[in-house]
């Protein structure tokens, strides 16, 4: 059986509005629906999940720093801050030191949208990126986190 591990999933601005505004590229599931899906997947993967959302950049940075001593992997959908926040990137780079995985996730394929979305600051701090799979991408990110944690544990011997 897989050993328990903690994964933090941090969501940025306006993610709390999923399913409450026009369907658009984000689907009709609410943020609470997404959280429930993620919690179920985490249980299947034998992971302890901390699932958070903030509209404030500094809060997100604080959570990434807190996760440094409390998790084995971090998943982030920085939402609109993906394209603007060097400070979140710096926090992700610090988190990833020592080989802790960072997974960047987006419900939409950011490279098929407006041109300003073509550059993600988060990507430089990410081990990998999942984009364009809608809410399923959230679950894929949790599965990927489990695999990366296991891979790190095997490498550590």
What residues are labeled active site?
A: 26, 106
* Contacts within 8 Å (CB) and 24+ apart, 54-57: 54/10, 54/11, 54/12, 54/13, 55/12, 55/13, 55/14, 55/16, 56/13, 57/81, 57/85, 57/87, 57/88
Question: Residue 89: how many CB atoms within 10 A of its CB?
Answer: 19
Q: Looking at the DSSP assignment, which residues form a beta bridge with residue 52?
A: 10
Question: Rounded to whole angstroms, what are the CA distances from 100 to 35, 89, 126?
Answer: 23, 15, 10
Q: Looking at the DSSP assignment, which residues form a beta bridge with residue 76?
A: 10, 104
CA distance 86 to 92: 10
């Amino acid at each position: 059986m897989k050993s328990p591990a903690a994964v933090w999933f941090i969501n940025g601005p306006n993610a709390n509005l999923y399913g409450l505004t026009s369907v658009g590229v984000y689907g009709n599931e609410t943020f609470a629906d997404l959280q429930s899906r993620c919690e179920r997947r985490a249980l299947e993967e034998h992971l302890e999940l901390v699932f958070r959302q903030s509209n404030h950049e500094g809060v997100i940075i604080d959570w990434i720093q807190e996760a440094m001593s409390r998790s084995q992997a971090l998943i982030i959908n920085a939402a609109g801050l993906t394209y603007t926040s060097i400070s979140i990137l710096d926090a992700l780079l610090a988190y990833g030191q020592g080989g802790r995985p960072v997974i960047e996730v987006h419900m939409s394929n950011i490279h098929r949208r407006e041109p300003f979305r073509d550059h993600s600051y988060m990507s430089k701090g990410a081990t990998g990126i999942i984009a364009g799979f809608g809410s399923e991408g959230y679950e894929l990110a949790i599965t990927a986190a489990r695999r990366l944690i296991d891979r790190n544990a095997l490498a550590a011997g």
